[in-house]
Amino acid sequence: CAQNARTTFQQLHNQPKNELKISFDKLTQEIRDCRESYDYTEVDIKKWIDQLKEFRQIIERPSIIKIDYDNNITSAVKLIKVTGPQHSLLSFTQEERLNENNNCTNEQMIASPSEKFSESFGDIELSTDGLSGRCLSSRWDGSCISGMGRYSSKIHYIRFRIENKTSNYWFFGIITASQQLTSSISAVQSACGWWDLGYIVVNGKTKDGNRTKTMNSGDEVTLILDCDNRLIQLQHHGRNALVGIQIDLEQCPFPWKLVIRLDSEHDCVKIVH
């Protein structure tokens, strides 16, 4: 019985360290994957810093192990009962932080109800109200459209509905407002955004990514322009996916304007207010 108590004590003593090692290994792998794919934002960095602070607190916090006599035993020799905490040391704080981040994202959004398409390049037809753009050409000519909004402060979100999509990939992103639309708009120095959700474009250069197509006709996505934190994000509502890019203002100076590239005939996108 004494040996059982010693074994239980040792297991409870090692439990926080084992949990910490598993969580730290997961965090290390997550950071490594994000660095390799260049797919991380200030929100991710803050989350990682908070997790490291939490790990440090766990290391500095003494293990809570209760040692008592087992009163259920009727023998004259009382046995020692060793018990530990009922929950993982990491479970509550990580869940609370996740909920806090989700709530913060929703509360900080500022709608841009006046946004409309105002410029186009290639064979593009804009609706009279400026809320939709349609590609009329069956040939690849780099057709693209941009919005009238100019963004340099606060946080803005613009929601789009993919009315019709026949090409493989669309480009959603931003360029600096002084940049004229061209046939290779995603390759200009200030261009930052995504081909679909898998391919990231940073300063006109496309990073290797996932070739899986995630955007289809009928889907809705939101482009979030967080000027205060120099961050853009793209949210796919149907897939509950959110990706982000940190913006270098030397490469893409304020003000920003949104840009979308449509590649095939009948491709059509609409701004949803």
Q: What is the CATH number of domain 117-272?
A: 2.60.120.920
- Report yes or no: 54 and 93 within 8 Å, Cβ to Cβ: yes
The pLDDT of residue 212 = 72
The pLDDT of residue 147 = 96
Cα 130 to the center of its chain, rounded Å = 29
| Peptide bond connecting 16 to the previous residue in cis, omega within 30 degrees of 0 | no
Helices 42-60, 2-37: axis angle to 10 degrees equals: 160
The pLDDT of residue 57 = 74
Distance CA 249, CA 205 (A): 16
Q: What percent of the chain has pLDDT over 70?
A: 71
pLDDT for residue 36 is more than 50: yes
Task: Provide φ and ψ at 119, rounded to 5°.
Answer: -130, 150
Q: Using one digit for the tens of pLDDT, what is the confidence trace for 75-115? A: 444 455 545 554 444 433 333 333 443 444 444 457 677 89
- Mean pLDDT over each residue of the chain, to the nearest integer: 79
Which residue has better confidence, 70 or 155? 155
The pLDDT of residue 250 = 93
Domain boundaries, the chain: 2-108, 117-272
Query: Which of the residue ranges 8-12, 99-103, 221-225 would you say has the lowest mean pLDDT?
Result: 99-103
